[in-house]
Structure 1
Amino acid sequence: MSIPTTDARSSLRLHWARATLGHATLGLQRASTDAGFRSYWRTQGSTPSRIVMDSPPDQEDVRPWLRMRDLLETGGVRVPQVLARNIDQGFLLLEDLGGPTVAQVIDANNADAHIDAAITQLIRLQSITLPADVPAFGEALLQRDAGLFEDWFIGKHLGISLDCADAERLQLVQRRLLDNALAQARVPTHRDFMLRNLMPVTDGPAVLDFQDLVQGPIAYDPVSLLRDAFLSWPEPCVSAWLAHYHARAIRAGLPVPGLAKFQRDADWCGVQRHLKILGIFARLQHRDGKPRYLADAPRFFAYLDAVVPKYRALDPLHILLERTLKPAFIRMTA
């Protein structure tokens, strides 16, 4: 398949939107972009407005997104409605869910209501029975995630080659985090269930960016929501919301452990996720030329500072952070 140039892709996208909607003078305005290769465009000149998802086939196959969308909708999860599709070209016509995400409208006054609504969608998602061929968030994926932190954040971004002692510390903690995740009950797991992937519609929020859904540890999505990659809350709020999720999950028949064990599992999943995201953000900067994501790196260090010292089993990571990684990061940003 030949790869269209940017201008050719723009022309192809506009031609498809005009032909699909039967509007010869329709315009498109960028609505948002993914950290990946998808982009979103809002129609102009017609009512109601629609969204064109552009997923270039040579870079990001749209079929996994469509399959997961259909599975989630069948399970009662609010997802974007698909109005037209051209899979070969990588275009979808979607309902327009509006401009702001929940991350842009949430504040201290409405946070409880937004978090409760998000938990409603999450519990529906976790209650779905997935087809047998949906992959598990198992050893292979967890090992890959662990490698992102070491390869991209430590090696590429900080420019550090760990000595034997630090390398052993990191490997030991990554193994403990991995074992904890593998020991948890498995449910459908979004893997990026956070406020910027939720749209504040009346029958929602609507869930976005679900194409990488897997069978994974039950604490992973709740902590992704409450220790968000782009928005932080006071730890007492996080603890209270985790307890609220836990109570609702029990009522829904989900296989959560006791509250104390669940909160520990959430803490450990959060640590594993924060390390992974630091690696992803470093890769976005150094491989993909998207430096803005690493501006949130201090948030992840703050999360780690709040959680890691609570657990003796995570002491090797605490030592690595305090002696090696945080000083190197501070030197870079000074």
Structure 2
Amino acid sequence: MSHPESPDRADARLNWARAATGDEGLQLQRASVDAGFRSYWRAAPEAAGTPASVIVMDSPPALEDVRPWLRLRELLERGGVRVPRVLVEDVEAGFLLLEDLGGPTLAQVIDADNADTHFEAAIDQLLKLQAIAPPEGMGEFGEALLQRDAGLFEEWFLRRHLGLELDCDDSDRLELVQRRLMDNALAQAQVLTHRDFMPRNLMPVQPGPAVLDFQDCVRGPVAYDAVSLFKDAFLSWPLQRVDGWLARYHERAVAAGVPVPPLARFRRDADWLGVQRHLKILGIFARLHYRDGKTKYLPDAPRFIAYLDEVLPRHAELQPLAELLDARIRPALARIPA
């Protein structure tokens, strides 16, 4: 098994890239890395003889099968979604040569002044994605996946990170809210769902933005990707602007024939899916930290607590979670050294 950071894998990656490009002098430099095992490498600008900048995706077969990525890329491209072009592929070795979409992601260029323009373009791509019929056999954002997501929060964030063991009353509170969140997700109209449709997975190119990290698409609730876009894991906006962008997405979704409910119900669905997603991400970030040694994610945990603080007061049905947050979670967070 070749880990992407091992010398053997580095040698194999460089040799493959040189053969794929026909440039024996080509050198690679790290472009980005996934939370998984995929990594991305750019032909160094100073590499002599490189006709154009390209990206090598390294997906070690024993750790991260590249075939789901390729299948979803083709599905999205057929539906008109802007995705990276594949120039050369070697599925057995786990290497792809891709067009270079540039350095910064949307997360790195978006700001308060240009956000409306960038999000309008992102909605363009999202509506194209949601218009694609999920293929037969595609995974579903169903009971099993929702139960797994709920378990991440309790196992990794509450127990491992905060050291909390919930008593019966606290467990009942959390279980009640998790059940309500799951029922809400399962009751929504189902469409093709990216599950991480957020600015760091969008590249600001024309036409575009280009959509990245789509290999985990499922058949899922219609509000999920919209709330992921505007309530990002790494970038926060004032709630009033988020509500406005959700209303704009809803307006355009209705016009495009996407099966969204009336606006008031859609707002509720988006809020509740946001809460479900925020709890899941807290669990994932804690797991990345403690199990995988990836320490850059967990410092963003306060962002998700702030999201919960914004939304929970709107919904009486979610107050048991607000009570748990105040009684147990916030005091435990305060005990963790900064």
Same fold (TM over 0.5): yes
One-letter amino acid of the structure 2 residue matched with residue 85 of structure 1: E
One-letter amino acid of the structure 2 residue matched with residue 162 of structure 1: L
One-letter amino acid of the structure 1 residue matched with residue 98 of structure 2: L
- In structure 2, the residue matched to 1:82 is 86
- In structure 2, the residue matched to 1:318 is 322
SS class of match (2:36):
coil
- In structure 2, the residue matched to 1:155 is 159
Once residues 120 and 59 of structure 1 are traced to their aligned partners in structure 2, the CA distance between those partners, rounded to angstroms, is: 33
Superposition map of 1:19-34 within 5 A: 19-34=19-34
One-letter amino acid of the structure 2 residue matched with residue 194 of structure 1: M
Residue 3 of structure 1: how far off its partner (Å): 3.5
Superposition map of 1:161-172 within 5 A: 161-172=165-176
- In structure 1, the residue matched to 2:258 is 254
- In structure 2, the residue matched to 1:304 is 308
One-letter amino acid of the structure 1 residue matched with residue 214 of structure 2: F
One-letter amino acid of the structure 2 residue matched with residue 105 of structure 1: V
- In structure 2, the residue matched to 1:223 is 227
- In structure 2, the residue matched to 1:240 is 244
Once residues 81 and 299 of structure 1 are traced to their aligned partners in structure 2, the CA distance between those partners, rounded to angstroms, is: 34
Please list the CA deviations of residues 82-115 of structure 1 after superposition, one character each: whole Å capped at 9, or x if unmatched.
0000101100000000000000000111110000
Residue 281 of structure 1: how far off its partner (Å): 0.1
Counterpart contact for 2:312–2:322, Cα < 8 Å: yes
Once residues 237 and 243 of structure 1 are traced to their aligned partners in structure 2, the CA distance between those partners, rounded to angstroms, is: 10
- In structure 2, the residue matched to 1:107 is 111
Runs of 4+ aligned residues of structure 1 deviating over 6 Å after TM superposition are none
Please list the CA deviations of residues 121-156 of structure 1 after superposition, one character each: whole Å capped at 9, or x if unmatched.
000000001211111100000100000000000011
Counterpart contact for 2:156–2:286, Cα < 8 Å: yes
Alignment of 1:332 onto 2:333: no
One-letter amino acid of the structure 2 residue matched with residue 135 of structure 1: G
- In structure 2, the residue matched to 1:212 is 216
**Paired residue for 1:47, among 47, 51, 58?**
51
**Paired residue for 2:179, among 162, 172, 175?**
175
**Paired residue for 1:283, among 281, 287, 302?**
287
- The aligned length equals 333
Residue 326 of structure 1: how far off its partner (Å): 1.1
- In structure 1, the residue matched to 2:13 is 13
| TM-score, length-scaled by structure 2 | 0.97
Alignment of 1:192 onto 2:196: yes
- In structure 2, the residue matched to 1:97 is 101
Counterpart contact for 2:201–2:213, Cα < 8 Å: yes
Q: Which runs of 5+ in 1 are unaligned?
A: none
One-letter amino acid of the structure 2 residue matched with residue 231 of structure 1: L
SS class of match (2:233):
coil
One-letter amino acid of the structure 2 residue matched with residue 29 of structure 1: Q
Alignment of 1:132 onto 2:128: no
One-letter amino acid of the structure 1 residue matched with residue 16 of structure 2: W
Q: Identity over the aligned pairs, expressed in percent? A: 66
Once residues 255 and 34 of structure 2 are traced to their aligned partners in structure 1, the CA distance between those partners, rounded to angstroms, is: 35
SS class of match (1:136):
coil
SS class of match (2:83):
coil
SS class of match (1:300):
helix
Residue 16 of structure 1: how far off its partner (Å): 0.2
Once residues 58 and 139 of structure 1 are traced to their aligned partners in structure 2, the CA distance between those partners, rounded to angstroms, is: 28
One-letter amino acid of the structure 2 residue matched with residue 53 of structure 1: M
Superposition map of 1:265-284 within 5 A: 265-284=269-288
One-letter amino acid of the structure 2 residue matched with residue 153 of structure 1: F
Once residues 107 and 53 of structure 1 are traced to their aligned partners in structure 2, the CA distance between those partners, rounded to angstroms, is: 29
Once residues 217 and 182 of structure 1 are traced to their aligned partners in structure 2, the CA distance between those partners, rounded to angstroms, is: 7
Residue 17 of structure 1: how far off its partner (Å): 0.3
Residue 292 of structure 1: how far off its partner (Å): 1.1
Residue 47 of structure 1: how far off its partner (Å): 2.6
Please list the CA deviations of residues 58-97 of structure 1 after superposition, one character each: whole Å capped at 9, or x if unmatched.
1100000000000000000000000000101100000000
Q: Which runs of 5+ in 2 are unaligned?
A: none
Please list the CA deviations of residues 236-261 of structure 1 after superposition, one character each: whole Å capped at 9, or x if unmatched.
10010000000000000010000000
| TM-score, length-scaled by structure 1 | 0.98
